[in-house]
């Protein structure tokens, strides 16, 4: 396996690379390898494993009363009506 050293990275670019790698839970090395593979068409994009962060703002926003109301609604919808399944 080859080793490649990249010189001349400014601090801002290095920090952006490190931040991007952390967001994807990858090492900087693996993040750079993935970027290169994508760029040269050696890595297929995973179709069904994309992470979404569009609902992150809602996490932890329910108070106890709202939580129990929603939980009760979900549990009510999960009950099986035995007369319908005869």
Residues ≥6 apart with Cβ < 8 Å to 18: 28
pLDDT of residue 84: 81
pLDDT of residue 57: 78
Low-confidence ranges of the chain (pLDDT < 70): 45
pTM of the model: 0.51
Query: 65 phi and psi, to 5 degrees?
Result: -65, -45
pLDDT of residue 35: 94
**For residues 19 and 28, is the Cβ–Cβ distance under 8 A?**
no
DSSP, res 46? P
């Amino acid at each position: 396996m080859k080793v490649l050293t990249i010189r001349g990275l400014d601090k801002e670019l290095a920090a952006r690379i490190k931040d991007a790698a952390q967001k994807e839970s990858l090492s900087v090395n693996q993040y750079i390898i993935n970027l290169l593979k994508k760029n040269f068409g050696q890595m297929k994009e995973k179709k069904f494993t994309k992470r979404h962060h569009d609902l992150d703002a809602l996490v932890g926003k329910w108070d106890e009363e709202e939580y129990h109301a929603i939980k009760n609604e979900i549990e009510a919808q999960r009950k099986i009506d035995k007369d319908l399944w005869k």
